[in-house]
Amino acid sequence: MNHNEKKVRNIGISAHIDSGKTTLTERILFYTKRIHAIHDVKGKDGVGATMDSMELEKERGITIASAATFCEWLDHEINIIDTPGHVDFTIEVERSLRVLDGAILVLCSVGGVQSQSITVDQQMKRYKVPCLAFINKCDRSGANPERVIAQLKSRLGHNAVALQLPIGLEGDFEGVVDLITFQAYYFEGESGEKVRIAEVPEAMRSETQAKREALIDTVSLYSDELTEALLAEEEITVEMIRAALRKGTLARQITPVLMGSAYKNKAVQPLLDAVTWFLPCPSDVENVALDRNNNEEPVVLANDPGKPLVALAFKLEDGQYGQLTYIRVYQGCLAKGATIVNARTGKKVKVGRLVRMHADQMEEIDAIPSGYIGALFGIECASGDTFVSPEVNYTMLSMFVPKPVISLAIAPKDNKSEINMSKALNRFTKEDPTFHSYVDGETNETIIEGMGELHLEVYVERMRREYGAEVTTGNPRVAYRETITQRADFNYTHRKQTGGAGQYGRVAGYVEPTADEDFVFENKVFGGAIPTQFIAAVEKGFRSCLAKGPKLEFPVTGIKVVINDGASHAVDSSDIAFQAAARGAFREGYMKAKPVIQEPIMKVVVETPTEFQGASMGLLNQRRGMIVGAQDEGVMTVIEAQVPLSEMFGFSTILRSATQGKAQFTMEFDHYRLVPQSIAEKIAEEAAARKKSAA
């Protein structure tokens, strides 16, 4: 393994579903000799393309989770990180975008820039990922790369620059003309592995010349050398053009466009060349970690193997040899036998086997230096954990994990499913910190919790596909909360005399709302009205009331309890008696303190073509949404709103049908807000009905 990080490319391949991403990856692996036969995506031969390692993906031909695979081209090491195409797997997308340095945006030459390409592009923009565009399926009828380039400019705002011209299109698609080298490329042999370089066909010469000049004109902005050569009318070398293109691409000011047909084995090799020429190496990209010793202040990492280690575990996989953890090293070097610290848990671990992955096959290595991607065996960790050298305390992702806002009861259909379900839940909760599961003590149901409807749906689906666990699901339930709105006094005496030792305790004080914390307990009892040894029991008694509020049995938050008086009995007072007294006191004070229900409010961002912005706002408004603002971005408008989660069920379908499928939305938890009276009554009715059916 050579260690020239200038020759490393960590790239993602992002695309709309069905634009041929997996086929392209498969061809890349074939030409780089990582695999020796080509399979179709929806495997007629039952094998399936190599990158889709997850069952669900194989069947549907879509990619959900990201695996990393390694290949070599032109003396460069390329790590391909398979990125999820779906917006809703936000954590997954965020992780893979952290890991890659550059990307190939695959577009269909017939379908062009579709709404999902817009989403994918926006994510890349957000993370400032430089990219190349590859217009695939040039062999299909209706193929029109020129139109796709125009869409790249108008819809995505890219400064798209074609580096090639197609030789023939649709059924006649033969190869491409390279505008930089002024040569024609044909792809021959059974799988297009033989690249024949020839002169540009006579009929295309003048067009090629004109396009080449336009290309040089565009890229000259990024190179003084090229501009000077142009002005002095000197010869423009291929290297000059490539250097200028690279500069523009790294700054995200140019998107080089290549074209071909992965399925017909045409023009994949020039794309690989372009990856090595134009996409960044790890040190071209600035990576930032958060310093946990310094209030999560951002720290720029140096891509230097000699510095303390900072690495991110971005993907876990259950293999036949145990847990395989994919890891990207940003700084330092991860070596076999070294001791590293998991920044989240603080636990020290020793590095065992290190491997480099090619989808399902692996190769043993001794170290992963900074800028590289590899995998470790036998390390217990969760996805998204940062590993560091003991001397630093950095984290790649913020440690803030929002509390789940939605829950769903699930039940296994049979015995086998029950075992598999628990295996699956165990894995998923490790992979995703926003996914929780527990067994409800009262109903004995298994409850899963997460950040949204789709979030939970995906896991239920994965349980079925990957673990063979058939489960039935209940209706999704919103995580409401209770709190109080005013101060109220309590003075409660617990007295019990039913033979044997009696119980006695009196607790007095008040409850009041607090915004900062979920629960605050303050002891202001003077003169031993409640003996010190029972204070802890009193607090325990109050705490025990928080899980289920007296109003509608939702968790209680934002409450401060102050005790300032009480009474005890020399014989009959005990911990148990004071706990019972505290519970009684809580109920008494709580109901007087005007308890209310709060609901999770989501920050919803809808991105819609401007012509549908009115309709989209109408939909949000109907859902008790408060629109914060609308941002006009030319062809698109971004609407930001705050909408109660309970109103968002099924929103994606409704939004799609109202906007011809052209609008997208993302949703994340924002804050809790008071439920309006009419809705609170409805919730109370539902809670009562549920209680009745449970009994």
Partner 1 sequence: MLKKKLMLLNPFGSMGADSEEILPEGGLGAVAAHAGVGKTALLVQLALNAMIRGKKVLHISLQDPVNKVSIWYHELFNNIVQQLGITGSHEIWEEILPNRFIMTFKVEGFNVPKLKERLTDLMAQNIFLPQIVIIDGLNFDEDVRETVTALQALAGEHALRLWFTVHVHRHEEPAIEEMPSRLATMADFFEVVIKLLPEDGVTCIKPLKVKSAFPPLFLDPATMLIRQQS
Nearer to partner 1, 533 or 631 (CB): 631
When binding is defined by CB under 8 A, the residue of 171, 499, 629, 650 that contacts partner 1 is 629
CA–CA dist 13, 304 (Å, integer): 26
- Interacting positions 632-651 with partner 1 (CB under 8 A): 632-634, 638, 640
Phi-psi region of 25 (alpha: psi -120 to 50; beta: other; left: phi over 0): alpha
When binding is defined by CB under 8 A, the residue of 631, 686, 688, 690 that contacts partner 1 is 631
What values do phi and psi take at 7, rounded to 5? Answer: -105, 25
Question: Which are the contacts of 84, defined by CB distance < 8 A and separation ≥ 6?
Answer: 63, 64, 65, 66, 92, 93, 96
Note whether 676 binds partner 1 by CB under 8 A. no
CB of 651 to partner 1, least distance (A): 17
Nearer to partner 1, 254 or 641 (CB): 641
Q: Are 26 and 39 in contact (CB under 8 A)?
A: yes
CA–CA dist 601, 674 (Å, integer): 10
Nearer to partner 1, 243 or 627 (CB): 627
Nearer to partner 1, 514 or 564 (CB): 514
Note whether 520 binds partner 1 by CB under 8 A. no
Q: Which stretch binds partner 1 (CB under 8 A): 60-68, 373-381, 393-401, 629-637?
A: 629-637
CA–CA dist 653, 567 (Å, integer): 60
The amino acid that residue 37 corresponds to is A
CB of 499 to partner 1, least distance (A): 50
Note whether 618 binds partner 1 by CB under 8 A. yes
CA–CA dist 167, 192 (Å, integer): 15
CA–CA dist 444, 446 (Å, integer): 7
- Interacting positions 408-427 with partner 1 (CB under 8 A): none
Q: Which stretch binds partner 1 (CB under 8 A): 233-241, 359-367, 581-589, 615-623?
A: 615-623
CA–CA dist 16, 521 (Å, integer): 53
Note whether 613 binds partner 1 by CB under 8 A. yes
- 3-class DSSP assignment, residue 343: coil
Place of tokens 């399979």: 39
What values do phi and psi take at 440, rounded to 5? Answer: -70, 125
What values do phi and psi take at 254, rounded to 5? Answer: -135, 140
Q: Are 196 and 176 in contact (CB under 8 A)?
A: no
Note whether 628 binds partner 1 by CB under 8 A. yes
CB of 678 to partner 1, least distance (A): 17
Nearer to partner 1, 64 or 636 (CB): 636
> Alpha helices, DSSP H only, in 127-237?
145-154, 205-219, 224-231
Note whether 630 binds partner 1 by CB under 8 A. yes
Note whether 361 binds partner 1 by CB under 8 A. no
Note whether 658 binds partner 1 by CB under 8 A. no
Note whether 674 binds partner 1 by CB under 8 A. yes
Q: Are 394 and 292 in contact (CB under 8 A)?
A: yes
Note whether 516 binds partner 1 by CB under 8 A. no
CB of 511 to partner 1, least distance (A): 16
When binding is defined by CB under 8 A, the residue of 627, 658, 679, 683 that contacts partner 1 is 627
Q: How many residues bind partner 1 (CB under 8 A)?
A: 19
- 3-class DSSP assignment, residue 133: strand
Nearer to partner 1, 544 or 631 (CB): 631
Note whether 621 binds partner 1 by CB under 8 A. yes
Cβ burial of 227 (10 Å; 0-12, 13-18, 19+) is middle
Nearer to partner 1, 303 or 616 (CB): 616
Contact positions vs partner 1 (CB under 8 A): 515, 613-614, 617-618, 621, 626-634, 638, 640, 673-674
